[in-house]
Structure 1
Amino acid sequence: MSSFLPSCRFSPRFTIAVAALLAAALVTGCATHPPADDDADIDEPVSQGGTLGPAEGVTGTAWAEMSAPPKTGGLNPDDLQWEIFRVPGKQPASYSYVRHEGRDAVLAKVEASGSILRHRHRIEPEQLGLVRFSWNVPNAGAGTNLTLPQLDDVPVRVVLAFEGDRSRLSMKNAMLSELSRLLTGEEMPFATLVYSWSRVNQPGEVVVNDRTDRIRKIVVDSGDHGYNEWRSYERDIRADYRQAFGEDPGALLSVAVFTEGEKNEGQLQAFYGPLKLVPASAVARK
């Protein structure tokens, strides 16, 4: 497969279809939007995805420092570096450090765009502990997110990517992973666990992505309440992975936040508080 795909010359229609598939399958874990019209925008150039480089508006900020993994000996520049990973076929979203209601936060702004704000940090399986995160989503009364009532999912997600035995991937997932490598320079993670706020699914519900079962979402909040306020969460990574995938996790490779918007939705905004990874050794001492 690896030797065949790079030699293929894809038509614009096929490439756009693949980009749309990967945009849904790589990082969202949701699939709340209908597939694009096959006849729409077939002549529009397809943007490559992949890592665009450091997130200049976030790297090195107080938010990045508060999100840095605990370690002895002090932090180094890599601990404070966050990067933008662009979803194939979409323009990059805007992520920037702000102070919001007295808190250090990252403001995500999207409009027909999508990219994730990612920090690569490896944690071995035996050291997987807790993840703590928070978000604040303005509603229409705040003059933003006017289309929220039309969406199934509120546009806030925390995304964890894991290592695993890739020989166990199905043919479909292996092909998706190879297409991901071609369009982004990176294979699809072995497993992706997404925490999200859903307007239709119930808290604790596991939602399997309808394009790949290697992405599974756990709903941490639901309904049409809680806008314009900070919502905070603490999750047991190992327990949640077992609940979602029915087995023990491999090593954690990265943690990210992800907000996306589609055409005709208008601008969507969300604030993210710092993401804190608490290793198992620190949890055990409490």
Structure 2
Amino acid sequence: MSEHLPRRQALLLGAAGLLSACASPPPPSAHPEGWHEFALPGKRRNRYRSVVKEGRTAFEAVSDHSASLWRRRLSIPAARVGPVSFSWWVEGLLAESDVSDSAREDAVARVIFGFDGDHRRLSAATRAQFELAELLTGETPPYATLMYVWERRAPLEAVITNPRSDRIRKIVLDTGASQLGRWRDHRRHLAQDFERAFGEAPGDLVSVAFMTDSDNTRGRARSWYGPLSFS
């Protein structure tokens, strides 16, 4: 029986990595744009609220040894996946965080896009991870998840594969401390970035989320996310 333990542990770690892309169903939300907080099983929740930050309407995210998403469902056909604009304002960095290391995989700012696809193309190990994630959360993870992140020291435009699941890829848009304490505006072409990260064209876009997390490094972080728009 012990010979099965490494595979079981690998599945559990992989499923844990997928929990940033799917989460347990939230309570009903009254937010007019359909945003909800989504809790991650076993994780302390962040605090999200609507505010005005330096003249800009924003969502404030406060993470205290915690991780949860502020997410919205979408239904955008693959043929219409194009440019997206968003902004973030970060107060400070997390000491020792590193999105390429599963033990320190926290980020002060993330914008997360979930894409549909043909799940039959996934490896047997990934399908097993997805099944376990569905048992834990009540929903199947997206076929592929593309994250834009603010990293502590990784190079700009680096593409980083999640250490626990290759179905999550990250692109570094800001790095280090030089741009802290100001609005950072980004405009990206989602389809092109997806192809660069995954080596294939994207499927339908099914979700978008903001997340600031500090659970792995046991730290505290506060960030703000401005309005997000598709072109």
* Both structures adopt the same fold (TM-score exceeding 0.5): yes
1:117 Cα deviation (Å)?
0.7
> Is residue 26 from structure 1 mapped to residue 26 from structure 2 by the alignment?
no
Mapping for residues 252-271 of structure 1, pairs under 5 Å: 252-262=205-215, 265-271=218-224
String of CA shifts for 1:160-184, please: whole Å, max 9, x gaps. Answer: 0000000011111101110111111
String of CA shifts for 1:117-138, please: whole Å, max 9, x gaps. Answer: 1110110011111111111111
> Is residue 241 from structure 1 mapped to residue 194 from structure 2 by the alignment?
yes
Higher relative contact order (CA 8 A, sep 6+): 2
Whole-Å Cα distance in 2 between the matches of residues 201 and 168 of structure 1? 31
1:21 Cα deviation (Å)?
5.1
> Is residue 98 from structure 1 mapped to residue 51 from structure 2 by the alignment?
yes
Number of residue pairs matched? Answer: 215
AA of the residue aligned to 2:76:
I
The equivalent residue for 1:174 is 127
Structure 2 residue runs without a partner (length 5+): 1-7, 100-106
1:25–1:209 contact (8 Å) kept in structure 2: no
Mapping for residues 145-184 of structure 1, pairs under 5 Å: 148-152=94-98, 154-184=107-137
2:14–2:165 contact (8 Å) kept in structure 1: no
AA of the residue aligned to 1:51:
P
Whole-Å Cα distance in 1 between the matches of residues 43 and 53 of structure 2? 27
AA of the residue aligned to 2:98:
D
The equivalent residue for 2:103 is none
Distance 1:238 1:263, change over 3 A: closer
The equivalent residue for 1:276 is 229
Mapping for residues 182-201 of structure 1, pairs under 5 Å: 182-201=135-154
Q: What is the CA RMSD across the aligned residues, in angstroms?
A: 2.1
1:263 Cα deviation (Å)?
6.3
SS at match of 2:195: helix
1:244 Cα deviation (Å)?
0.3
> Is residue 230 from structure 1 mapped to residue 183 from structure 2 by the alignment?
yes
AA of the residue aligned to 1:53:
P
Using the size of structure 2 for normalisation, the TM-score is: 0.86
String of CA shifts for 1:53-110, please: whole Å, max 9, x gaps. Answer: 3455xx13xxxxxxxxxxxxxxxxxxx1111221121022111001111110111011
SS at match of 1:149: coil
> Is residue 218 from structure 1 mapped to residue 176 from structure 2 by the alignment?
no
Whole-Å Cα distance in 1 between the matches of residues 47 and 29 of structure 2? 9
Q: Percent identity?
A: 38
1:270 Cα deviation (Å)?
0.6
The equivalent residue for 2:40 is 87
Larger radius of gyration: 1
Using the size of structure 1 for normalisation, the TM-score is: 0.70
> Is residue 203 from structure 1 mapped to residue 203 from structure 2 by the alignment?
no
Greater fraction strand? 2
SS at match of 1:180: helix
